[in-house]
Structure 1
Amino acid sequence: MISMFLVFAVFILFYINKMTNALCLQKEIPEDRQPKVFRTINILITILLVSSYVEILYT
């Protein structure tokens, strides 16, 4: 079960980063601010994935 969740999590993170890149291009976010946007979104998605895994694990 953990391996299936890890594959799912990697897919989600990859797709979210792809959408974040499209957002940065569409909104014309300056190059110096883009790493901060990516870092913030990746941290929030990671927290969401970890909390989802913990909820599945203890349910």
Structure 2
Amino acid sequence: MISIFIVFAVFILYYINKMTYSLCLQKEIPEEKQPKVYRTINVLITILLISSFVEIALT
């Protein structure tokens, strides 16, 4: 179960980063601010994935 969830998490993070790139292009976010945007979104998605894993593991 852990390996399936890890594969799922990597898949989700990849597509979230792909969508973040599209967002940066569409909103014309300056190059200097893009790393902060990526970091913020990745941290929030990672927290969401960890909390989902914990909930699944405890049920």
TM-score range, shorter chain: over 0.9
Q: CA deviation at 1:12?
A: 0.1
**Alignment match, 1:5:** 5
Q: Gaps (5+ residues) in structure 2?
A: none
Structure 1: state its 5+ residue gaps: none
* Deviation at residue 10 of structure 1 after TM alignment: 0.1
- SS at 2:30's partner residue? coil
Q: 2:19 aligns to what?
A: 19
Question: Structure 1: which 4+ aligned runs deviate by more than 2 Å?
Answer: none
TM-score, normalisation: structure 1? 0.99
- Aligned Cα RMSD in Å? 0.2
**TM-score in terms of structure 2 length:** 0.99
User: Percent identity among equivalent residues?
Assistant: 78
Q: Write the deviation string for residues 6-40 of structure 1: whole angstroms up to 9, x where unpaired.
A: 00000000000000000000000000000000000
* Helix, strand or coil at the partner of 1:5: helix
